[in-house]
A and B are shown apart, each in its own frame.
Chain A
Amino acid sequence: MPLNNKGFTLIEVLVSVVILFLSILSVSFTFKEYIYYKNRQQKNEDLYISVISLVNKLEGEDLNKIVFKEGKINSFHYVLKIDKIDSARKWSYGFGSSGNKGKFLISLYKIVIEIGGKKFTLYKTRFKSL
């Protein structure tokens, strides 16, 4: 059976090259976008977890002793600024015959966390028996 030895025309080759180029370009663009969003998402998640971890750590610390603190957590550099906004003396009553449970001091603190180029402000209260 004789084979057809006729090659492709220039136009056919050019069109196929253009189609191939366009498809490669589209895939590479999509892939770049995907990597960019994935990294951004990963960074946001890491930041979220780091901020929550820092807040958890602060829960157990005496806020009076911290005014300014710097450190590193999960490859993020962070700066903590804590201001005592207000304090008030209060007392609590028990039910029935138990009477006055005692006096305590309630303080409100403003906590500013600067981490990963973002700023988070939160408020915390602390109780202290008098």
Chain B
Amino acid sequence: MHYKKKRGFTLIELLISIVIFSLMIGIATYSFSLYVDIIRKSFDPYPENAYRFSELQDSIRSMFYYVGEKKDIVGDKKFFLYFFGKPNSMVFVSAQSAFKDNNLTVSKIFIEEHTLVLEECNIYSCYNDYKNPNFVKGHTKKIIIGEHVKDINIFYFVDGKQERFLKDKIPNLIRMEIEFDNKKKYTWYFKVMSDFLNKKAITGSLYAHF
């Protein structure tokens, strides 16, 4: 009777087969994760970038005609519209928090380590001064609007006139030119939708006061 040779696998054969097997499992897992990502993205109702843009737009569109109060050198009270616009950053009061806090927030848009950030701080809280609100360390929240951002240029339009610096005035339209690290450039427009009657009443009283 003829018997088959009963020799098993050698250690080298076993190791090589384990390496090949793990490689194939790795490839399969990678492919599967790519497919899952495709499926997730195609069913995503809010694409990531568009969602972040919407958050930023909601915040800017709901810009609030907030009247701040400060004392001058003599000690007299001075009222001012809370807005500080620079070519690469913007500070304003918004009625629409990106974190849905249902409160007025002092918001700042700026670049921090190649990331476009929207930072918020609640105005009516014990740690902030509602007359002249600011960012209190440890009590701010940040939302990332864009990553790998190289530069940002902000233009402010007030009654058709373009400004690079704006203080104590609320712009009608804001143009943001954003350059990413991969040299892609985007232009975003944001319309400030503050109520016309409020604007008239507030600015009217402000100028009458001075």
Mark A residues whose CB is within 8 Å of B: 4, 19, 23, 26-27, 30-31, 33-34, 37-38, 41-42, 44-46, 48-49, 52-54, 56-57, 59-60, 73-74
A49 contacts B49, C-beta separation under 8 Å: yes
Which residue in chain A gives the minimum CB-CB distance to B54?
Answer: A52
Interface contact B187-A74, CB-CB below 8 Å: yes
Of listed A27, A30, A44, residue having the most chain B CB within 10 A? A30
B191: chain A residues at CB < 8 Å are 56-57, 59-60
Q: How far is the CA of A41 from the CA of B51 in the complex (A)?
A: 13
A-B contact count (CB 8 A): 69
User: Would you call B157 and A60 a contact (CB within 8 A)?
Assistant: yes
Contacts of B53 in A (CB 8 A): 48-49, 52
Separation of A53 and B178 alpha carbons in the complex (Å) = 13
Cα-based distance from A60 to B31 in the complex (angstroms): 48
Q: Could you pull out 26 A-B pairs where Cβ atoms are within 8 angstroms?
A: A19-B24, A23-B28, A26-B27, A33-B34, A33-B35, A34-B38, A38-B41, A41-B47, A45-B49, A45-B50, A48-B47, A48-B50, A48-B53, A49-B50, A49-B53, A52-B57, A53-B187, A53-B189, A53-B190, A54-B189, A56-B191, A57-B173, A57-B191, A60-B173, A60-B191, A74-B185
Interface string of B76-119 (1 = CB under 8 A from A): 00000000000000000000000000000000000000000000
Residues of B153-210 contacting chain A, CB below 8 A: 157, 172-173, 185-191, 193
Give which listed residue, A23, A44, A60, A74, contacts B24 with CB less than 8 A: A23
Is B38 a contact partner of A23 (Cβ separation < 8 A)? Answer: no
For A41, the chain B residues whose CB sits under 8 A away are: 41-42, 47
B96 CB to closest chain A CB (Å) equals 15
A37 to B36, CA, bound (A): 12
Query: Complex Cα distance A45/B44, Å?
Result: 12
Contacts of B50 in A (CB 8 A): 45, 48-49
**Cβ–Cβ contact B42 & A37, under 8 A:** yes
Q: Does B125 contact A (CB under 8 A)?
A: no
Residues of B within 8 A of A44 (CB): 47
Report how far A30 CA is from B189 CA in the complex, Å: 37
Is B72 an interface position by the 8 A CB rule? no
Residue of B nearest to A101 (CB): B197
Bound: A130/B176 CA distance, A: 35
Cα separation A64 to B120 with both chains bound (whole Å): 38
Contact A37–B189 (Cβ < 8 Å): no
Cα distance A73–B53 when bound, in Å? 16
Q: List A contacts of B127 (CB < 8 A).
A: none
